[in-house]
A = this chain, B = another copy of it.
Amino acid sequence: MPTVSSEELAAAAGVNSAKLRKDFSYLGSYGTRGVGYDVEYLVYQISRELGLTQDWPVVIVGIGNLGAALANYGGFASRGFRVAALLDADTALAGRLVAGLPVRHIDELETIVADNQVSIGVIATPAGAAQEVTDRLVAAGVTSILNFAPTVLSVPDGVDVRKVDLSIELQILAFHEQRKAGDDRPEPDGDVPAVMPA
């Protein structure tokens, strides 16, 4: 039975082993004293806790470059996500295959969400269309939305929205880059604050 100790895992992850053990303890007592954690069992328990063992049907709305990239993204299937449908307002796209799936018209949204019990929607439309799509998704029964469009969406209580801004990470890199350069020459007028993104 292959096992790992909290010490090994902590070293690999670069965190404190006590914290790791305490975190695991919230999921239950899955370790064996003097031995460590059974790898296979631990993986299963964490997967289950994170919802990776469930099947999550999702719809992707807006099949431009980003939508197509998401549809092709390999990481989805392995984490329990199943693309139930690709939707776009452009009728010219309808029927075209993207990542092996036919693009369907946005008007099929309601039917598809209902038939597949979709609770998660991904928005990869232009900013202008995002709110309308959101409203339709919510009305159709979707309760979680991942928004790639550069707009703040308003949703009723009980609906979760997460906004992904592809440039934020770039901005964090630029911030650090500025710091690297700035270590040589002093700042133009004064203060170098102690704050910084993680």
Contacts and interface: CB of A to CB of B under 8 A. Distances in A.
Given A69-B69, A166-B70, A195-B23, A80 B122 contact: no
A174 B69 contact: no
A56 interface: yes
Interface stretch (A1-9, A35-43, A157-165): A157-165
Q: Is the interface of A mostly helix, strand, loop or mixed?
A: mixed
Nearest to A194: B26
Contacts of A167: 73, 75-76, 79, 81
Interface in A169-185: 169-178, 180
Interface stretch (A60-68, A88-96, A133-141): A60-68
Contacts of A172: 162
A175 B52 CA distance: 9
A158 B169 CA distance: 18
Interface in A81-135: 81, 119-120, 122
Contacts of A64: 69
Interface of A: 23, 26-28, 49-52, 54, 56, 58, 64-66, 68-70, 72-76, 79-81, 119-120, 122, 143-146, 150, 158, 160, 162, 164-167, 169-178, 180, 190-191, 193-195
27 contacts: A28-B191, A50-B171, A50-B174, A50-B175, A51-B175, A52-B171, A56-B177, A58-B170, A65-B66, A75-B150, A75-B167, A79-B167, A80-B174, A81-B170, A81-B174, A120-B170, A120-B173, A120-B177, A143-B177, A143-B180, A144-B173, A144-B174, A144-B176, A146-B170, A160-B176, A162-B172, A164-B169
